[in-house]
Amino acid sequence: MNNQKNAIIVSINDNISEINKLADSLDYNVVKEFIQHRKIPDVNFYIGSGKVDDVREYIDSSLEDIDLIIVDGELKPSQWFTLEKKLQVDVYDRIRLILAIFEERAERKEAKLQVKLAQLQYERPYVRELIHRARAGEHPGFMAGGEYQVDDYYEMIKKQMKKIRGDLKKIRSDRELHRQTRYKSGFYLVSLAGYTNAGKSSLLNILSGEKIKVEGKLFSTLSTTTRRIQKRVNGKKAPILLTDTVGFIENLPSWIIDAFHSTLEEIEVADVVVLVTDGSEDKEIVEKKLRVSLNELTDLGVTTSVVIALNKIDLIEKEKVDTLLYYLDQQDLLNDRLCVPVSVKEKKGIDLLLENIYKSLPHVIEMTLKLPLNKTSQAFVSQLYKKTRVSHINYNHSITINIECNSKIRKKIQSKCETLQGSII
Ligand SMILES: Nc1nc2c(ncn2[C@@H]2O[C@H](COP(=O)(O)OP(=O)(O)OP(=O)(O)O)[C@@H](O)[C@H]2O)c(=O)[nH]1
Ligand SMILES: [Mg+2]
């Protein structure tokens, strides 16, 4: 039995490697690529009508079934309609393909709602086009006709979107509450951001000991995961929570990004953002993806420090890393940002990256406490190990402990110390 799904890619430029990867992410086997160089798309069919005939001819003469035509660009509803009508095969543009990947990957409730919201938003102009065609008698089958039903359908979409927005708002406020609790207890929040497939989840896994899904396919991660960093900074555990987020991609309409707002919020509120970038690709591609990601961070309103992790350097020669860093700097992409070459796969550069993340944390304060040697102090010391970075501890007639912590919990520590009859030195 052959379960293979076959697709044809149609593009108006040569650079089709990303759309190929997107097709692969949805398990489509690309059997043919049609490229027609044009500056602007044809108004009726996106590609010229002669090219559409070529595609049609290919489909008709192909021994394999063609399940999908993928257009590497954004179709207007009228172009989509005329293309599907002419080719008699499902046609997806780039956005619809990405939404289909999202739909397949969404596991948790929040991700499912976000994807549904984006899909409804996407479909709205298409529904409008179908309504228009139905009224003109061009698409009599749609909704079994009748303006009343068509309008009803439109209303239904609107209601559904409103309901989803409400549900998401609730999830969002729960998430905010959760975050506040963590923050107040002294944890720093660090978020992993970056282009899809850069290695964000792989990095979270090695820093936290977690085992979240890592894949060569695009958009493996659609939900956030937050874990404490277990790996030590200069031999000592630090109070940092790390959050993995959904990847970026070029040319994603702002309404899709809005639909994923609550997930991306983790980036907005982070104390430090680690921007993971695949450094193994051609320098122009690395540059493009880094630029897209930095712009995305600006659009999200990120004002905190950004540390760049230039990942996958195991795939390139050592000299090339320096050339790449120089090139990125020349393109004004590094400025005064810290950029650390790493290989998550071979665990190279990770300690240095972590040190730089730690150095970038805002308002880390140092304190030295002197506590009486008893059981209650011991319990407090365990708390300090959890919520601060204990740089030194000495047990004698009393306990002397040096800590580095978030300034947010200074007062709490002070008053607890006083309750225990201890003192701050
Ligand atoms: N060679 C090499 N491959 C790596 C490295 N880090 C990650 N990868 C691979 O890159 C692919 C993507 O890794 P992920 O960690 O899933 O990337 P991601 O950024 O989380 O991707 P999305 O969730 O899809 O946005 C996987 O096949 C990883 O095994 C590295 O340092 N070197
Ligand atoms: Mg991931």
CA nearest to 97, candidates 35, 21, 42, 197: 21
Ligand 2 centre to CA of 246 (Å) is 7
| Domain limits, the chain | 5-102, 106-168, 186-360, 364-424
pLDDT of residue 25: 95
Q: Which CATH number fits domain 186-360: 3.40.50.300, 3.40.50.1010, 3.40.50.2300, 3.90.25.10?
A: 3.40.50.300
Burial 3-40 (b: 16+ CB within 10 A, else e): eeebbbbbbbeeebebbbebbebbebebbbbbbbeeee
Interatomic CA distance for residues 362 and 86, integer angstroms: 59
Interatomic CA distance for residues 270 and 357, integer angstroms: 12
Find the ligand nearest to 249 CA: 1
Ligand 1, atom 11, residue with closest C-alpha: 216
Report pTM: 0.90
Interatomic CA distance for residues 351 and 231, integer angstroms: 8
Interatomic CA distance for residues 326 and 40, integer angstroms: 35
Ligand 1 centre to CA of 215 (Å) is 6
Span 15-42, pLDDT tens digits: 999 999 999 999 999 999 999 999 999 9
| Rg (the chain; Cα; Å) | 27
pLDDT of residue 138: 67
Who contacts 69 (Cβ-Cβ below 8 Å, separation ≥6)? Answer: 7, 8, 10, 55, 83, 87, 89, 90, 91, 92
pLDDT of residue 150: 64
Ligand 1, atom 25, residue with closest C-alpha: 196
Handedness of CA 90, 94, 95, 97 (dihedral sign): positive
Ligand 1, atom 14, residue with closest C-alpha: 199
Find the ligand nearest to 316 CA: 1
Ligand 1 centre to CA of 312 (Å) is 8
- For the chain, residues with pLDDT lower than 50 are 1, 143-145
With a Cβ cut-off of 6 Å, ligand 1 is lined by 196-202, 214-216, 218-221, 247, 276, 311-312, 314-315, 343-345
CATH entry 3.30.70 includes domain 364-424? yes
pLDDT of residue 384: 95
Half-sphere exposure (CA, 13 Å, Cβ side) for 135?
11
- The residue to mutate among 18, 205, 214, having the most atoms of ligand 1 within 8 angstroms of its beta carbon, is 214
The CATH class, in words, for 5-102 is: alpha beta
pLDDT of residue 1: 46
Instruction: Indicate if 186-360 has the same CATH topology as 5-102.
Output: yes
Q: Which amino acid is at 197?
A: N
CA nearest to 111, candidates 259, 240, 232: 259
